[in-house]
């Protein structure tokens, strides 16, 4: 804290506390597109959509993370908390993959 004196009184300058940041890992199975990450104050954190897995450094706080799978058009919103100096992990299933049907579709295993 700095204190300065002038002719009209005392001026007190208080430095703002540093913003504590943490990291968030967002994943969707089998994959997804992160459309938005909105803070509890309503501020968008992404400048463009990104694919999972995605790791971001964000100020500590509460967020709404919206993910979609463009192939199936399914979307989900995940409530996420970023804690200071911590990696917070969030994963969701957007589509279920039937391994047998996938292999059969490739013509393998016959």
Q: d(Cα 82, Cα 4) in Å, to the nearest integer?
A: 37
Q: d(Cα 4, Cα 58) in Å, to the nearest integer?
A: 35
Q: d(Cα 25, Cα 67) in Å, to the nearest integer?
A: 13
Q: Report the mean per-residue pLDDT for the chain.
A: 86
Report which of residues 1 and 29 the model is more confident about: 29
CATH number of this structure's domain 21-105, picked from the four choices 3.20.20.105, 2.40.70.10, 2.60.120.280, 2.60.40.10: 2.60.40.10
Return the residue matching tokens 């979609």: 68
Q: d(Cα 83, Cα 68) in Å, to the nearest integer?
A: 25
- Alpha-carbon Rg for the chain, nearest whole angstrom, is 22
Q: d(Cα 45, Cα 35) in Å, to the nearest integer?
A: 10
Domain ranges of the chain: 21-105
0.85 surpassed by pTM: no
Average pLDDT over residues 61-65: 97
For residue 6, the model assigns a pLDDT of 53
Does residue 75 contact residue 36 with C-beta atoms inside 8 Å?
A: no
Interior CA angle at 63 toward 56 and 26, to 5°? Answer: 40
């Amino acid at each position: 804290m700095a204190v300065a004196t002038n002719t009209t009184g005392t001026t007190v300058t208080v430095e703002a506390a540093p913003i504590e940041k943490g990291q968030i890992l967002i994943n969707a199975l089998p994959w997804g597109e992160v459309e938005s990450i909105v803070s509890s104050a309503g501020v968008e954190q992404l400048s463009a959509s990104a694919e999972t897995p995605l790791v971001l450094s964000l100020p500590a706080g509460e967020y709404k993370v919206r993910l979609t799978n463009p192939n199936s058009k399914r979307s989900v919103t995940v409530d996420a908390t970023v804690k200071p100096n911590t990696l917070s992990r969030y994963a969701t299933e957007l589509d279920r993959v039937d391994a047998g049907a996938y292999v059969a579709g490739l013509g393998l295993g016959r």
